[in-house]
């Protein structure tokens, strides 16, 4: 009998429900949805380059600060067992492991919160949006040390190429 009512459409449980209400932008922001999508590799690299140029003035200024290698190679592809995959066994070819543990991420979040508290509201909002898209531009001390250890081998090869470049030698 119940089957007949449902089959014929006389009893339709969906029609007794209230229609879904429209969700506003403010309600989404209140629950944490910001509408920020993760930046691609090229977007992050371009943003990092422009921030370094803004900080140091020119490419020569970046070279003199010792950060020229980061302009070219600001990405390292992580292997199995690195990054968020820290619970998996690490790839034996990895010389310097990069493990993002929960404790390290909490330290980074605390560091970000203290940095945002120092900024005016408008700047803090822009920085938080940029952080969610591209990650930390200025990380906490522990994360910065891990990144520097991971980049050490790449840094040396790029530094040698830069020192052997005749254009850069003239401008020192």
Per-residue pLDDT, averaged over 93-117, amounts to: 86
**Which of 33, 27, 69, 76 minimizes the C-alpha distance to 52?**
69
Specify the pTM: 0.57
Least confident of 10-24, 85-99, 125-139: 10-24
Calculate the alpha carbon distances from 120 to 32, 129, 158, 163 in Å: 20, 14, 38, 41
Give the H/E segment covering residue 168.
Answer: helix 166-170
Give percent of the chain with pLDDT exceeding 70.
70
* Other Cβ atoms closer than 10 A to 134: 19
Residue whose tokens read 């292997």: 79
Mean pLDDT of 18-41: 69
The tokens describing 168, both together, are: 């850069």
**Domain extent listing, the chain:** 40-170
Written as six digits, the tokens of 16 are 């007794």
| pLDDT at residue 165 tops 80 | no
For the chain, how long is the longest CA-to-CA vector? 92
pLDDT value at position 35? 64
What are the distances in angstroms from CA 35 to CA 18, 26, 46, 129? 27, 12, 21, 9
């Amino acid at each position: 009998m119940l089957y007949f009512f449902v089959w014929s459409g006389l009893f339709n449980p969906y029609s007794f429900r209230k229609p879904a209400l429209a969700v506003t932008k403010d309600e989404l922001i209140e629950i944490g949805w910001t509408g920020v999508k993760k930046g691609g590799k090229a977007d992050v690299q371009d943003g990092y380059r422009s921030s370094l140029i803004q900080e140091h003035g020119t490419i020569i200024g970046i070279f003199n600060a010792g950060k020229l290698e980061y302009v070219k190679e600001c990405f390292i592809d992580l292997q199995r067992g690195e990054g968020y995959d820290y619970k998996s066994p690490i790839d034996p070819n990895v010389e310097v492991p990069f493990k993002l543990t929960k404790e390290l991420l909490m330290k980074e979040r605390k560091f970000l919160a203290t940095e945002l508290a120092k900024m005016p509201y408008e700047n803090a909002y822009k920085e938080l949006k940029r952080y969610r898209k591209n990650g930390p531009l200025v990380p906490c001390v522990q994360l910065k040390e891990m990144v520097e250890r991971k980049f050490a081998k790449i840094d040396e090869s790029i530094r040698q190429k830069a020192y052997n470049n005749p254009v850069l030698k003239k401008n020192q």
